Amino acid sequence: MHARWTVSLAALAAVTLVLAGCASVPSGPAPSAGQAATLARQGNPAGAAQMYEALANESHGAQRNGFALQAAEAYLTARRPDGAASALDLLSPPLSADETLDRSLVEARIASQRGQAAHAWQLIQTVVAPQQAEPASRYWRLRQQVAFAAGQPAAGVEAEVHLERWLPNAAEVQQSRVALLNDLRNASERGVRLQPGTEQRPVIRGWLELAPLAAEVTRNPTVATAGLTTWLEDHPGHPAAEVVRSELLGEQPQPLAAQAHIALLLPLTGPAGPLAASVRDGFLTAYYQTPVQQRPLVRVYDTGEESVTDEIGAAAQSGADIIVGPLTRQAVAVAAADRMQRPPLLALNFLPDGEQAPPLFFQFALSPVEEARLVARRVLSDGHHLGVAIVPAGDWGSRVLAAFDQELQGGGGTMLATTMIDTSEADYSDELKQVLGIDQSRARLERVESLLGTHLEFVPRRRQDIQFIFSPAPTASIERQLQPQLRFYYAGGIPTYATSGAFEPDPRANVDLDGLMFPDTPWMLGSPLAEAVRSAASQAWPVGGPRTGDLFAFGFDAYRIAAALRENRAPSSLDLNGLTGQLTLDPDGHIHRQLVWARLHGGEVTELPGAPGG
């Protein structure tokens, strides 16, 4: 079944299944994990718990701990907290970080099931929030439940806002919001003090104000409708808006298959999931900044578990009028090779140089190769034609160097020397002495000393014809190691250029990069649009929010490009002021980014005048 979701979804009913049982472990063959899992599936969690407990008693080390934790989980499913506590006593130290987290969550659940809500809340607050999707979603979901049980509704809403960051698709987000609405309605009906007036965070305050209105719907739907309408007017863009319309006002969206929409294809599950989630968050931030009456329907298709061609086909069959994605270079190549009939497609990466794109196939990427060409043009426009390059070893460095060298030679420049550094090492002495010609200076000294038969005082010199240094790096930490060593080898006064990855907005850390010039995005260097988006994101996610790095900005711009392409399926031009640069479209369907040029001085950024092409 395709994994996909929609921004405008029919509400999903929140169903809580409580599996309880009292059956004991059946007599017969020796216990096994397979038998325990079968008992759990058959609705006998107590029997499964006893079998896991028996397995734990027969095991040692990590295996014993795994069975003990499974036994505790099964006892809690059977609502037998004392059994769960006994299972925890079987844990054998030392515990791994994952085992420690699982034990802490089980302890909080035990307290909750025993009716010790305040103690459960105290326990859950001592747990450090995980940073991986599966344990993080378990942690925040439990924290939400415990907070409401302990009479802490604002904390419960805060936990749900955190939880949404880790949910894989909008169907689960919608279901989570429905569950939160039910928690708030129940809290209001129990007379819990909600106190929205004391809450400074607008999203949380909006949820708290919604609670009594949701409770009123069950008592007097006609009267409540006016209050809900006012709430929607007072909270434009609030994440609960869709739930209010579908759950409380009874509005029914059009069936999914019948609606035109923007399809967003991202690998939300799998190794690229965290990167894809940042792109999605930026994309949806741009979506929610669009006036409500102008918003198209958006559905996200997860390419992490389904094939790219299958998801493109599903999107086309479901009525997508433009497809955004896929994200990875390999997936983009697969999409380009498939000649099925489909709507226009905005790929979120570039095809390899020279590879022909099919019709209505647009390409947008945060490409270090494209940046390298921008740097070469800047070097030439600054009047430099002879230089050296120091790049990280590997595919990234090879591609960046090739693009830079090609653009430099095309403009009449020459690479005097190049070297590749192993970025896993901290000392680049040998590579720098070679590329700067210091080894040649030493060799000349040794020849003179041999001829004269005496030792001479010597100060090594680098070659004097170097007009520039190109030192791209995918991360600022690499550049911070490299630049001080360049100064040590008498190259500190040579104009040095890098790509955007060399910069992070941290004045204290950037002191060692004094004089470095680089192109970067308005999102990183600042612009009115960037400040407006950051403000909107902080209001939408008041308790942390998404990772708002370059990929967030990339997703934001991808939505705006898609919206423009949707209005004009075969545009001859495009000119957008974006977070990742000034965006233009060439005749081959490539989106180009004109970046902002900057120089570091004393750790601070100084904007430079623009250069041709970027």
Task: Characterize 4-29 residue by residue with b for buried, 16 or more Cβ atoms within 10 angstroms of its Cβ, and e for exposed.
Answer: bbbbbbbbbebeeeebebeeebeeee
Partner residues linked to 488 by β-bridges:
none
Domain boundary among 342, 363, 384: 363
Domain contains 246: yes
**215: nearest Cα among 186, 235, 194, 238:** 186
Looking only at the bridges linking them, the beta strands covering 320-324 and 345-347 are parallel
- Decide: 46 and 52 in contact? Cβ < 8 Å: no
Domain contains 69: yes
> Per the structure block, which two tokens stand in for 313?
């086909």
The verdict on 357 and 420 lying in the same domain is no
Domain contains 458: yes
CATH number at residue 354: 3.40.50.2300
> Per the structure block, which two tokens stand in for 443?
């060799």
* Structural domains of the chain, count: 4
Domain boundary among 128, 150, 171: 128
> Per the structure block, which two tokens stand in for 357?
């794109």
The verdict on 330 and 381 lying in the same domain is no
Q: Where in the sequence is the domain holding 180, given as residue range(s)?
A: 130-253
CATH number at residue 170: 1.25.40
CA atoms 63, 69, 71, 73: torsion sign = negative
Q: Helix, strand or coil for residue 253?
A: coil
The verdict on 154 and 245 lying in the same domain is yes
Q: How far apart are CA 316 and CA 271, in angstroms?
A: 26
The verdict on 110 and 149 lying in the same domain is no
**Residue 370 backbone class (left: φ over 0; alpha: ψ -120 to 50; beta: rest):** alpha
Give percent above pLDDT 90 in the chain.
Answer: 45
Domain contains 570: no
Domain contains 303: yes
**465: nearest Cα among 416, 431, 406, 430:** 416
Q: What's residue 478's pLDDT?
A: 92
The verdict on 138 and 212 lying in the same domain is yes
The verdict on 244 and 138 lying in the same domain is yes
Q: How far apart are CA 417 and CA 420, in angstroms?
A: 11
The verdict on 261 and 249 lying in the same domain is no
Q: In the chain, how long is the greatest CA-to-CA distance?
A: 106
> Per the structure block, which two tokens stand in for 128?
């450090």
Q: What's residue 32's pLDDT?
A: 82
Query: Which position has the token pair 């750790």?
Result: 603
Q: What's residue 315's pLDDT?
A: 87
Q: What's residue 507's pLDDT?
A: 67
The verdict on 148 and 202 lying in the same domain is yes
> Per the structure block, which two tokens stand in for 186?
């129940």
DSSP string of 396-465, one letter each residue: HHHHHHHHHHHHHHHTT-EEEEEEEE-TTSS--HHHHHHHTTHHHHHHHHHHHHHHHTS---------S-
The verdict on 134 and 114 lying in the same domain is no
Domain contains 309: yes
List the Cα angle 563/567/568 in 5-degree steps: 115
Q: How far apart are CA 64 and CA 539, in angstroms?
A: 46
* Phi, psi torsion values for 346, nearest 5 degrees: -105, 100
Query: Which position has the token pair 């918003």?
Result: 295
Beta strands in 156-231 (DSSP E): none
The verdict on 116 and 7 lying in the same domain is yes
Low pLDDT (below 70) residues in the chain? 1-30, 168-170, 221-223, 252-259, 439-461, 507, 539-548, 569-572, 611-614
What is the four-CA torsion angle of 335, 338, 340, 341, rounded to 10 degrees? 40
CB neighbours of 499 closer than 8 A, spacing ≥ 6?
368, 371, 372, 375, 400, 472, 473, 518, 519
Domain boundary among 84, 108, 128: 128
Identify the DSSP state of 172: H
131: buried, middle or exposed (CB in 10 Å: 19+, 13-18, 0-12)?
exposed
Domain contains 559: no
Domain contains 376: yes
The verdict on 108 and 146 lying in the same domain is no
The verdict on 117 and 161 lying in the same domain is no
Provide, for the chain, the percentages of residues in helix, strand and coil under a 3-state DSSP scheme, each rounded to the nearest 5. Answer: 50, 10, 35
Alpha helices in 220-307 (DSSP H): 221-234, 241-243, 273-289
